[in-house]
Structure 1
Amino acid sequence: MAGERGPTDLLAGLDPEQLAAVTAPRGPVCVLAGAGTGKTRTIVRRIAHLIHAGHVSAGQVLAVTFTARAAGELRTRLLALGVPGAQARTFHAAALRQLRYFWPRVVGDQQWDLLDGKLRLVGQAAHRAGVGTERETLRDLASEIEWAKASLVAPEDYPAAVARARRETPVAAEQVAKVYAAYEAAKNAARQLDFDDLLLHTAAALEEHSAVAEEFRDRYRCFVVDEYQDVTPLQQRVLDAWLGRRDDLTVVGDANQTIYSFAGASPRPLLDFTRRFPEATVVRLERDYRSTPQVVSLANRVISAARDRPAGSRLRLIGQRPNGPEPTYAEHDDEPTEAKAVAARIKDLVDAGTALSEIAVLYRVNAQSEVYEQALAELDIPYLVRGGERFFARQEVRQAMAALRKACGDPPEGELPAIVRGLLEPFGLTAEPPSGGKARERWESLLALVELAEELVATDARADLPRYANELEMRAQAQHPPTVEGVTLASLHAAKGLEWDAVFLVGLVDGTVPIQHADGDDAAIEEERRLLYVGVTRAREHLALSWALSRTEGGKRYRRRSRFLYGLIPDNHPTARIAATRQRDTRPVMGRAMTPVRYCRVCGDKLIGTMPTKLGRCESCPSDLDQSLLDRLREWRMERSKALKVPAYVIFTDATLLAIAEQRPADRAALVAISGVGATKLDKFGPEVLSVIDAATRSGGL
């Protein structure tokens, strides 16, 4: 096979740290791999090296990751290295395969069907529990059930678990527990499984049936886990069941990129790996081959400000590429203006030669995409919304794949790309692209299929139409689409694992980054910081950060740029606006800017610690608290929490209420200046809080 390599070739071109990871002996290996350090390359080279060196056969290797796209990428690269027999799957895909095989021995009757989606059963369960059945509510309830199962939390334990985690719930925790229990009962009565059941039943089969465990462990001897910082307790339980008492395990991860805690993920297994395996080989990959030194420097400054970085997560990226442009910062009056400015800059990049597919606009929540879709459309710039319609679900792609499969029976002669192009011409693949609209989107999809044929020929000289059709089928199952020309619009979470030449990080205001509901929870705030870090590290060369002071055109400009940007923006930049009131300190420390520093409103000293920062005063300075106002604020908060059916701290934390009662803000500007009152909470609760303060003032309470 073209592209097949021997053991020596597999080691060519590796840096010293990558080489150490690839050639580490069998047994426990932990690779701490920073963003852009070549972790996927290291993983596949390690697997291929173990196989070519005779340490393990290809069929005995199981590599698992968290997305079908990542698993597809691993399989493609392993194929190019001449090891097609190694398994690379998601946790769920691997578990499904195993469960189907072992089901007759473990259960003994007809296999249960896999649920396509859980909303219908969740809706029935919610109705029985007396909970609202609006579609948004059902989605939130489904997410809570998924979190509980991923966290190994049973329905009866759910209220206590969310209280410990200080987790915001869509309805009262007791009601969620009732819906969860009713959902499980309905699902089991219908003899159906959801995706989490695949993992639960697989773990149980291996834990409770020694013959099943023995057969599985005889088949698979070597395990590799990618993105190990995202493992959930349930996935770790499955991994433990796979391993048994063995230790032939390689894990790769970066605690700085832990951004899925809301779904139950935890970096703790990664950070505790050497405690579990004291003899483990640990390799740190810190050479960043993706981004320019300017982007790398900003990424390091973003993550170095984190307050909760365990020693094992302190990777400091070292840029390996030539210098590039400095990241840019821009403040706008409103979101439409911000979107138009971004679209104009994208047009400049495209005119200068940057491919559309190498540009991304990243935001915190999907609702932010609309204004950017409109701005790009006005300039006739094609775009793709990641998380929208899947590539292989498009009508033209399904039609094309059907035609390609049919032609495999009597394939035309010629080179594969030319054959594919000829077969796709009837579906709209003209020599020149249409001017725009749906016809252009259809044309781009078909062209992507031709380009995929060109890629396959480049890696496999024997590639023919049947092999190509099989590759398409595998990619469709793995949801691993080819590249389509168009600017990518995606959430920061959806951007994980991807990279572009140019990245625009937009909407960077408090209340969005960090998200409003993270306020009052230090761990949640730090996860939001890691999310920004992930966004920064997606950029290879061009990086732009921007924010808008108002949501709507002509609206009041009361927003504040994200707190994460303080200490990052150069002092001489127009948006820095360093106030004479010393709202922050930017004196250099150890060659980098300090993190934001606040000062006591009583004595003027620097504030140290979460509570003094939130109160705006040193703990030793006198408090001007009005207990009557604090009591009124607490009564108001209790009424609102009951009305919204959320815990009281979701409205405002005790510390934020205390700060409000001490500082007694008289207007929106003063209220939003208090730590814990973001733009979203200001919109939702600001008028009511100011009304409570005003009523207390008029009644003589202040």
Structure 2
Amino acid sequence: MAEQPRLLEGLDPEQRQAVIAPRGPVCVLAGAGTGKTRTITRRIAYLVQRGLVAPQQVLAVTFTARAAGEMRTRLRELGAAGVQAQTFHAAAFRQLRYFWPRVHDTQMWPLADNKFRLVMQAAHRLGLSTEREDVRDLAAEIEWAKASLVGPDQYPAAAAQAGRVTPVLPQQLAQAFAGYEKLKNEARVLDFDDLLLHIAAILEERPDIAEEFRARYRSFVVDEYQDVNPLQQRVLDAWLGSRDDITVVGDANQTIYSFAGATPKWLIGFPRRFPEATVVRLERDYRSTPQVVDLANQVIGAARERPAGTRLRLVGQRSDGPRPDFAEYEDETAEAEAVARRIARLAGQGVALSEIAVLFRVNAQSEVYEKALSDAEIPYQVRGGERFFARAEVRQAMTALRTALAHGAESGDLPATVRDALREVGLVDEPPAGGAARERWESLIALVELAEELVAAVPDADLARYVRELEMRAESQHPPTVEGVTLASLHAAKGLEWDAVFLVGLVEGTLPIQHADTDAAVEEERRLLYVGVTRAREHLHLSWALARAGGGRRFRKRSRFLYSLVPDDHPAALPNKVRQRELLAKPKKKTNPRCRMCNAELVSTMDVKLGRCADCPSDVDEGLLEQLKAWRSARAKQLKVPAYVVFTDATLTAIAEQRPTDVRSLVGISGVGASKLEKFGSDVLALVQGERPDGL
């Protein structure tokens, strides 16, 4: 009893109310950053220390092994060791292993070590595609069906009612589903969903076993309750029976897994199911500054329909911080390079790189940020996905491109040549609706867009030049794995937090995603943005680009979710048509540099880099150029990066032509930005003045 006051120390009034609530149904509506894990672990420890329940009689379930591990650690520190804190599947596996022999008179069937192979066999027997991405989509749809308590015979009707975009015809998928189940049963193996299905069935059909189980576990806690699917809810109901000793914690505003069957309806409907439930709302946000919190409230407050259980309004508890920053860029490369510069500045101000994240909607967006961070020599790690050039479809694409090059494929139109080569590995004209096929298409189309970007910079680039460019990018984007900036999708960022967050690529067609074609799907995309915003503790930067590649048409529009968020004094706050007129009213000749030889306007990227027209005479100092190239090679070897990461040939040529003698004239050369000036400026100026740089 003496420990109880310590358990209540440091709790706000709402957290305290949740902790000391009596045994029975308790629903904690916990907004982002409001201390839900602290609250529920204190509640469990409080019940244990008051003697209301033994630790071994408590089963707490959550959705990830990481969350379950964190819960167990906190409970041990609070004197409640012995509480079972596990994922749904881990808990079901443990129970099934114990009860299976009593039901079936055999040892429990093992988990399938290769579910993918079984789905592939079922697809093959039906004459369906057995390409990896297609099989992945079949497996995902079977998982959705089982999580939704839908059998093969019911699948076509259920898929139609749910508006599922199926990878094959619904009847074909139903046949593949049935074939997969048959193969699995013949092999006497289980998949993860079977763990839940079987334990639910045993508890429902065997009253003796259900009674024994409920004598063992008397109190239940469910974290992230907004993410339960029908199968998991069936298991919870089987665990509980007629009892009501359950505490649920969740936030319907963070429901982002509806595509996998998750639904917040049980969280929202909890007070109706248990009219005597204690309902506590946690709205004090201890994670983020008031400025970040205010933006998060604006994002979710604009939702079209918000059931009563979702109307949490966060209240920031931290001291003030900087306002969230918005930025619009001409193209994705400019956006990524600007983000890299901002990250470098934050690092210079003392923000650890491990406390910085770049978050995007789809994994294919990572490539341009991988390159920008590599060029800036900022270490990074990709969370929840492979690096762009490590992805199977990208490796296959590069093999196809090398084969096309070896066979002399060339049409005079580099993007068209690349597109034709990638058709051999599955590139199609229209994007698939979703799933693994969509992810593969996005990676392949990103390679086509890289070709368009190269042609915009180097008009005469051919396939050989393009393949070399890809190989250099692949090499430079595989630095050793180190602690660094996190690159992650919004889905992979759920449950995490950083001091600084960059939300990038916020354009229509990406967020909301193009295939979000219903109101419900669009609102889930809004919740994704809300999740992204609430990952930031202090610094928050939101950005978008008007074009995919430099020189491309600026046809993109910023995400509809941003229109009410951008401050009135921000240039991007103007209506989109007005901004487009202003952009068109400012032709490039007002800002483009002029040739230092003939004063003509410079238009092409290469001319701008050289500072002169292509047909104007070059006054390059050949000796200096050779010295610069030798120096670049040495520095590249020291830094273990491709030579172009130091300076491109065009930049070195411009330096050898213009022979800058001070920082002002050096930084005026295209390709010499602030970071490269700091790293290489003194070396370059020394070489121009005929001196040997230090360290070489």
SS at match of 1:88: strand
Compare 101-110 and 11-20 and name the one that shifted more.
Answer: 101-110
Distance in structure 2 (CA, Å) of the matches to 1:117 and 1:562: 40
1:276 Cα shift? Answer: 0.8
Distance in structure 2 (CA, Å) of the matches to 1:528 and 1:373: 24
Output the amino acid matched with 2:232. Answer: Q
Distance in structure 1 (CA, Å) of the matches to 2:550 and 2:202: 58
> Residue 226 in 1 paired to residue 235 in 2?
no
Distance in structure 2 (CA, Å) of the matches to 1:350 and 1:563: 32
Question: Which residue does 2:157 correspond to in 1?
Answer: 160
* 2:501 counterpart (500, 503, 518): 503
* Contact 1:571-1:578 at 8 Å conserved across structures: no
SS at match of 2:505: coil
The 5 A counterparts of 1:10-409 are: 10-388=7-385
1:332 Cα shift? Answer: 1.2
SS at match of 2:542: strand
Judging changes above 3 Å, is the alpha-carbon distance between structure 1 residues 579 and 494 closer, same or farther for their aligned structure 2 residues?
closer
Q: Deviations for 1:655-697, whole angstroms, at most 9, x for unmatched residues?
A: xxxxxxxxxxxxxxxxxxxxxxxxxxxxxxxxxxxxxxxxxxx
The 5 A counterparts of 1:609-688 are: none
Output the amino acid matched with 2:374. Answer: A
* 2:484 counterpart (462, 486, 491): 486
Q: Deviations for 1:359-418, whole angstroms, at most 9, x for unmatched residues?
A: 11111111111111111111121111112479xxxxxxxxxxxxxxxxxxxxxxxxxxxx
Output the amino acid matched with 1:499. Answer: E
Distance in structure 1 (CA, Å) of the matches to 2:276 and 2:254: 25
Distance in structure 1 (CA, Å) of the matches to 2:73 and 2:484: 24
Q: Deviations for 1:575-594, whole angstroms, at most 9, x for unmatched residues?
A: 112368899xxxxxxxxxxx
Judging changes above 3 Å, is the alpha-carbon distance between structure 1 residues 5 and 303 closer, same or farther for their aligned structure 2 residues?
farther
* Contact 2:137-2:167 at 8 Å conserved across structures: yes
1:250 Cα shift? Answer: 0.1
SS at match of 1:518: coil
* Contact 1:229-1:270 at 8 Å conserved across structures: yes
Distance in structure 2 (CA, Å) of the matches to 1:350 and 1:161: 51
* Contact 1:232-1:264 at 8 Å conserved across structures: yes
Question: Which residue does 1:513 correspond to in 2?
Answer: 511
1:182 Cα shift? Answer: 0.6
Output the amino acid matched with 1:170. Answer: P
Output the amino acid matched with 2:487. Answer: L
Distance in structure 1 (CA, Å) of the matches to 2:548 and 2:69: 39
Q: Deviations for 1:521-558, whole angstroms, at most 9, x for unmatched residues?
A: 00000000011000000000000001112222322221
Distance in structure 2 (CA, Å) of the matches to 1:139 and 1:328: 38
SS at match of 1:516: coil
1:117 Cα shift? Answer: 4.0
Output the amino acid matched with 1:248. Answer: D
SS at match of 1:155: coil
1:120 Cα shift? Answer: 0.7
Distance in structure 1 (CA, Å) of the matches to 2:124 and 2:570: 55
Distance in structure 2 (CA, Å) of the matches to 1:372 and 1:200: 42
Q: Deviations for 1:94-120, whole angstroms, at most 9, x for unmatched residues?
A: 000111111100111132110234211
Distance in structure 2 (CA, Å) of the matches to 1:383 and 1:215: 51
* Contact 2:374-2:477 at 8 Å conserved across structures: no
Output the amino acid matched with 2:540. Answer: L
1:571 Cα shift? Answer: 1.4
Judging changes above 3 Å, is the alpha-carbon distance between structure 1 residues 293 and 5 closer, same or farther for their aligned structure 2 residues?
farther
Q: Deviations for 1:131-188, whole angstroms, at most 9, x for unmatched residues?
A: 1111111111111001000000001111111111111111111111111111111111
SS at match of 1:266: coil
Q: How many residues align structurally?
A: 492
Question: Which residue does 1:556 correspond to in 2?
Answer: 553
Compare 547-556 and 270-279 and name the one that shifted more.
Answer: 547-556
SS at match of 1:367: helix
Unaligned runs of 5+ in 1: 391-435, 445-484, 584-702
Unaligned runs of 5+ in 2: 388-475, 581-696
Compare 112-121 and 208-217 and name the one that shifted more.
Answer: 112-121
1:80 Cα shift? Answer: 1.5
> Residue 570 in 1 paired to residue 567 in 2?
yes
1:336 Cα shift? Answer: 1.6
Output the amino acid matched with 1:516. Answer: Q
Judging changes above 3 Å, is the alpha-carbon distance between structure 1 residues 547 and 554 closer, same or farther for their aligned structure 2 residues?
same
Q: Larger Cα Rg: Structure 1 or Structure 2?
A: 2
Q: Deviations for 1:558-616, whole angstroms, at most 9, x for unmatched residues?
A: 11110100111011101112368899xxxxxxxxxxxxxxxxxxxxxxxxxxxxxxxxx
* Contact 1:286-1:316 at 8 Å conserved across structures: yes
TM-score calculated relative to the size of structure 1 = 0.68
1:439 Cα shift? Answer: 8.7
* Contact 1:5-1:82 at 8 Å conserved across structures: no
Distance in structure 1 (CA, Å) of the matches to 2:562 and 2:326: 10
Q: Deviations for 1:304-362, whole angstroms, at most 9, x for unmatched residues?
A: 11012101110000011011000011111221211111111111111110011111111
Identity of aligned residues (%): 73
Judging changes above 3 Å, is the alpha-carbon distance between structure 1 residues 77 and 106 closer, same or farther for their aligned structure 2 residues?
same
Question: Which residue does 1:522 correspond to in 2?
Answer: 519
Distance in structure 1 (CA, Å) of the matches to 2:175 and 2:535: 41
Judging changes above 3 Å, is the alpha-carbon distance between structure 1 residues 529 and 117 closer, same or farther for their aligned structure 2 residues?
farther
Q: Deviations for 1:458-505, whole angstroms, at most 9, x for unmatched residues?
A: xxxxxxxxxxxxxxxxxxxxxxxxxxx311111101111111000000
